[in-house]
Structure 1
Amino acid sequence: MADNEQYYVYVYIDPRNFEEFYYGKGKGSRKEAHLSDDSDSEKATRIKAIHKAGLHPIIKVIAKDLTEREAFFIEKTLIWKLGRTLTNKSSGHFADKFRPHDTFHDDLAGFDFKNGIYYVNVGQGEHRCWDDCKAI
C-alpha cells in the first residue's frame, strides 16, 4: 500500500437505535479521536449521551486503503445522502459537485440535461433515408 493510500472512511452508529450519526475520513487512529471530544457540538453531545447510557458508539470503517481525495469523495457522498440525519457540521469537500438537497423537483443547469437522445437508421447504400431519424 502506497503512503498516499492510507486513508479510510468511517461511520459512528448509535447503539441505542442503530442510527448512523457521523461520517468521517481519516488515517491512523482518527476514528477514535471523537470519543474524547469535550465540545458542545451535536456529535459530542450524542457521544456523551451514549456513554451516559452505559454504552459506546459503534465505529465501523466502511472504506479503506484510499487516497485522501478518494476518502473525501466517499465521505461527501455519504454525507450528501444522509445529511439531514447526521451530526456532521460540514457538508464535506466537493460540495459544489453535488446536487443541493431538496431540488429533485427542479431542473438544475449542470445536473439535468434537456438534450434528446437520437438513433439513426439510414438504411444501406443508395436507399439511405434520413427521414428515419427519430428522437426517443
Structure 2
Amino acid sequence: MSIEFYVYEYSDPTTNEIFYVGKGKENRCYDHIADAKRDSNKGNLHKKSKIRNILKEGLEPIVTIVYRTTNEQDAYDEEGRRIQLYGRRDLGTGPLTNLNDGGTGSTSPSKEIRNKIGSAMRGKKHSAESKRKITESLTGKIHSEETKQKMSEAAKGKVCSEETKQKMSKAKENYVPWNKGKQTGYVSAGAWQKGNEPWNKGKEHMKGEDNPMFGKNHSEDTKMKMSNAVKGRKRVYRKDGSYYMIKPEVV
C-alpha cells in the first residue's frame, strides 16, 4: 500500500483567516497544536504564538486537508503554490506564519529573512520582562561539548573594537566585585598561631546543621573526581611557614 501525503491549512476560528500551510502524512497536521501546548520556545514562534492565542480563548485552530496524493514531490509543490498564493506575514505579502516558501520540507528561515529580522532587531533593547523570560528559558541548560567547541572556534581571533571596549568599560562603572574588601585565603604562620585566620567566624556558622553538607555523603564518583583534581599538586612553603599549592607541569 502506497503512502498518502497531503497539504493542510490552519485557520483562525474567529476570523476564518488561513495562517499556516503545511505538507505532511499520517497525523502530522495536528502536531503543531501539541507542540504549541508544550512550554517550548523553539521552532516557528510566529505560528506557535498564533496557535497559543487561539487556545487561550478556549478554541482550537481549524485544520483542513486541502490536497492528497501518493507523490511526495507533488505535495511539496502544492504546499509551495498555496504559500505563494496566500503570502507570508514575515515578508509583508500575506497572513501566513510560514517562514519559507515551502516545496522543500525546510523549516529554517532563508538568509534574506534572517537579515531582515536582524535589521529589525538591531539597536532594540529587551525589556526587564523579556530578559527574565530569556533567563528562565536558559536556566539549567548545559551546552554540549560540540556546542562549546563551536563557540570557542567562533570566538578565536576576534578582537574587540575600541567602541566595544569603551562599552565594556562603561558597563563596569560603579560595579563592586563580590569579594571587594574580603581577605584572601593567604594567612601568615604568625597570624594562624594567634587564631586570627580570616574565616574563623564563618567557620563557626558552618558547623552542624548549618553546613549544606550536613547529613550528606559524597558519592564514590565525586570522591574520585576530588581525588584526581588534587593529584600531583605540591606544597610550596614560604619563609614564614605558610604555603600554597601548585599544579604539576603538563608536558
Same fold (TM over 0.5): yes
1:78-106 Cα distance to aligned partner (Å, 9 max, x none)? 00011121000111127xxxxxxxxxxxx
Q: 1:77 aligns with which of 59, 81, 84?
A: 81
1:35 paired residue number:
33
Ranges in structure 2 where 5+ consecutive residues have no aligned partner: 88-93, 105-251
1:14 paired residue number:
12
2:102 paired residue number:
92
Question: What secondary structure, in the 3-state scheme, does the structure 2 residue paired with 1:18 have?
Answer: coil
1:74 deviates by 0.3
User: Where is the helix percentage greater, Structure 1 or Structure 2?
Assistant: 2
1:68 deviates by 0.8
Q: 1:50 aligns with which of 42, 51, 54?
A: 54
User: Where is the strand percentage greater, Structure 1 or Structure 2?
Assistant: 1
1:16 deviates by 1.0
Which of 33-42 and 68-77 deviates more? 33-42
Tell me the amino acid that sits aligned with residue 71 of structure 1. Answer: A
1:39 deviates by 3.0
1:30-66 Cα distance to aligned partner (Å, 9 max, x none)? 0011012243611000000000011000001001133
What TM-score do you get using the length of structure 2 for normalisation? 0.35
Moved over 6 A (4+): none
Question: What secondary structure, in the 3-state scheme, does the structure 2 residue paired with 1:85 have?
Answer: coil
Ranges in structure 1 where 5+ consecutive residues have no aligned partner: 95-136
Question: What secondary structure, in the 3-state scheme, does the structure 2 residue paired with 1:42 have?
Answer: helix
Higher Cα radius of gyration: 2
Task: State the distance in 2 between where 1:74 and 1:87 align.
Answer: 17
